[in-house]
Amino acid sequence: MKIANVLIVASLVAFMSGCASKDKEVFNMPATYWYEEIAKEIKNQDLEKADSLYTSLASEHIESPLLPEAMTMLANAHIQDEEYVLANFYLDEYLKRYGSKANADHVRYMKIKANYEAFPNPNRNQQLLIDTITQTKDFLARYPNSKFRPLAETVLVRLELGEYLLDTNIKDLYERVDKPEAAKSYEEKLNKSSLGGAKSIEPAIPWYRSWFEKQ
């Protein structure tokens, strides 16, 4: 019995030692090592690990030309994975460190795109919607000749249609809960909008969400 216990303990120690050696952190590696590892983990769809590897790259090789490439790569990966807050983090870092006349419009458009893609559901996050409209208008004023201008204009129209629909639903809600003054303020806003006569298709809402969205 004692021998069996000893064998069990020895097996556990060996297993834990093996795990510790696998999880042992790596330090002082060349920038190419970290960059390649980031790319590998993105390919493996392990963005949490890729983010951790980026921290190592940024701390050990702050002047590496691979750092801005890694930021862009991670931003795109997080956009594709619908993690827009993290995508914006990398884009903000890129603008702060490497933003220039040559690339600023591209990075700022990516931020707009990330925010736009963050609206999978209608009637959600009014403040983000308003902020993104402001951000897009600022982009169009700042970069009138950007090759991304047509894309930004399309995004702006869609966002403004979304805002009009949201304001309409809010007005209807205030009317249903008998708050005429609040409903009137939204009605006045809708009357001033240039989208009042626009033909648009209201987004389809699943039945299980419609109870909460429309009530």
Predicted confidence (pLDDT) per residue in 100-152, tens digit: 888 899 999 999 988 888 776 555 677 888 899 999 999 999 999 999 999 99
State the pLDDT at residue 164: 86
The tens-digit pLDDT sequence of the chain (215 residues) is: 445 444 444 454 454 445 444 445 677 899 999 999 999 999 999 999 999 999 999 999 999 999 999 999 999 999 888 888 899 999 999 999 998 888 899 999 999 988 888 776 555 677 888 899 999 999 999 999 999 999 999 999 989 888 888 888 888 888 888 888 888 888 888 888 777 655 555 555 543 344 444 44
Ramachandran class of 99: left when φ > 0, alpha when ψ lies in -120 to 50, beta otherwise: beta
State the pLDDT at residue 123: 56
User: DSSP state, 23?
Assistant: S
State the pLDDT at residue 199: 57
State the pLDDT at residue 197: 58
State the pLDDT at residue 196: 64
Calculate the alpha carbon distances from 91 to 38, 61, 71, 79, 106 in Å.
Answer: 17, 19, 7, 11, 10
Contact, 114 vs 87, CB < 8 A?
Answer: yes
For the chain, give every domain's residue range: 23-98, 104-215
User: DSSP state, 118?
Assistant: T
- Of 87, 44, 91, 101, the C-alpha closest to 68 is 91
Find the DSSP H helices in the chain. 2-22, 31-43, 47-60, 66-80, 84-98, 104-117, 126-142, 149-176, 180-192, 207-213
CATH code for residues 23-98: 1.25.40
